[in-house]
Structure 1
């Protein structure tokens, strides 16, 4: 049986991702936003299921991977993440569009 903490953590992550997606324009156009939004909503609905999916992944936590240059993230992505998840499950790459105003 699932613990309440896992469900609560999932909802906190979902709310955070949805609020960030409405504040920033970090995706590649409207199609990229829709694709990412669909992936998050699909995760939220499937994470409530207790069954193991066809791809043998149990979705308890949404994996959010942010690549920070010169930290080995590229190697981590290519060696592990790319092999575990289908490319259709990835949000569009938008690291080159993210702008932070330090003021």
Structure 2
């Protein structure tokens, strides 16, 4: 479980900059001249780096480290509970 949590945290940290880029591109408003402030992934990467530095790519990551294990724990617990309930139902229907 510890290795899975560590792997998840490492993967989340590695992919978080692309999540920042995706979020910026999705939530950007069009300018008056009908152009986007983030037209491409490369332009978004440059803009974030120029305006906020390398730390701009990791804004909010600490909250993801908090909520990630909670979400995964709830997901695993729900899966196990539903699997057990369905197995019990299946056993009662076949006997």
Q: What's the TM-score, normalizing by structure 1?
A: 0.27
Q: Which has the bigger relative contact order, CA under 8 A and spacing at least 6? A: 1
**Higher percent of residues as helix:** 2
